[in-house]
Amino acid sequence: MKITVIGAGNVGATASLRIAEKQLAKEVVLIDIVEGIPQGKALDMYESGPVALFDTCIYGSNDYKDSENSDIVLITAGLARKPGMTREDLLMKNTAIIKEVTEQVMKYSKNPIIIMVSNPLDVMTYVAHTISGLAKERVIGMAGVLDTARFRSFIAEELNVSMQDINAFVLGGHGDSMVPIVKYTSIAGIPITELLPKEKIDAIVERTRNGGIEIVNHLKTGSAYYAPAASAVEMIEAIVKDRKRILPCTTMLNGQFGIDGVFCGVPVKLGKNGIEQILEINLSDDELEALQKSAALVAENCKSLQSVLS
């Protein structure tokens, strides 16, 4: 297994180290546009191997040739937002970056699975899919796992119970319009509505929607990376180990949930072939409407890129 991580910044470097520590690949290549950074960070990580007990070969490069024959490519290249910005403010600059990155990746790997992290997430997944020409099952966006991790962590904190016992799904686009699905949120199988009053659930839903900007406002210089990296690596682990995990991921919908031709976060089965199934679960009328609205916003942004991508 060879995994290439594009972007040696906060998310990319953190994810690379987690991949090595979990021994998910024999080879990890960290690529960035800035000279020295991927080489220095990767060497530093490699030197932690004897202490952290991994044998993964991890190295940095500015040359995409080193990504040759990758099985999985994690894309984290691009700008991150700062306080006062929305993820959509990154649209034009990150589109140019993701277009170039995807072209380079496809020069050297025939049929990789691409996991997109760069924002605005759903639109960047669309850009990578369009440019790469890969099957839609092989271009997957990371957002739902992160948004759901935030939702689960806030619920665990509120109830003072283990995070492990919280099951939930946050669907839709990765933005203010994301849709935490209360109906399928449970604590060791007990519906959340039996353990928390509506006002508390509403407050947790709201905090989840603002989970990204909450961190940006603390950090001031960039955005979250520990939970995002952990979330991307959970998806990689499901693929590498062919675990058939059911996780909320961004994928192209073709009629499911009444949404057509748009990338949007929904529950999927993840295994060695990428997205192996989309689970079209029953949603309440309100939740379905919110999901469709969220997808419509993604579609609008994708449409605005038509001239750039053609």
Ligand X SMILES: NC(=O)C1=CN([C@@H]2O[C@H](COP(=O)(O)OP(=O)(O)OC[C@H]3O[C@@H](n4cnc5c(N)ncnc54)[C@H](O)[C@@H]3O)[C@@H](O)[C@H]2O)C=CC1
Among 95, 119, 208, 251, interactor with ligand OAA by CB under 6 A: 119
Cis peptide leading into residue 267 (ω within 30°): no
CB under 6 A: which stretch of 59-67, 159-167, 222-230, 254-262 binds ligand OAA?
222-230
Among 20, 97, 233, 259, interactor with ligand X by CB under 6 A: 97
Active site residue 218: no
Q: Which among ligand X, ligand OAA, none contacts residue 229 (Cβ within 5 to 8 A by kind)?
A: none
Q: Which among ligand OAA, ligand X, none contacts residue 170 (Cβ within 5 to 8 A by kind)?
A: none
**Cβ 6 to ligand X, closest distance in Å?**
5
Among 20, 28, 196, 216, interactor with ligand OAA by CB under 6 A: 216
Q: Can you tell me which residue has the tokens 């016992």?
A: 165
Alpha carbons 116 and 140: distance in angstroms, whole number:
6
- 209 touches ligand OAA (CB under 6 A): no
Query: What is the SS3 assignment for 199-218?
Result: HHHHHHHHHHHCHHHHHHHH
The catalytically annotated residue of 99, 152, 174, 209 is 174
Half-sphere exposure at residue 66, Cβ-oriented, CA atoms within 13 angstroms = 18
16 is in an annotated binding site: no
- 49 touches ligand X (CB under 6 A): no
Cis peptide leading into residue 180 (ω within 30°): no
- 19 touches ligand OAA (CB under 6 A): no
| 126 token code pair | 């669309």
Q: Is 84 left (phi over 0), alpha (psi -120 to 50) or beta?
A: left
152 is in an annotated binding site: no
**Helix H or strand E encompassing 106:** helix 91-108
Q: Which amino acid is at 23?
A: Q
- Catalog residues that contact ligand X under the rule CB under 6 A: 6-12, 32-34, 76-81, 90, 94, 97, 100-101, 117-119, 121, 142-143, 146, 174, 222-225, 228
- List active site positions: 174
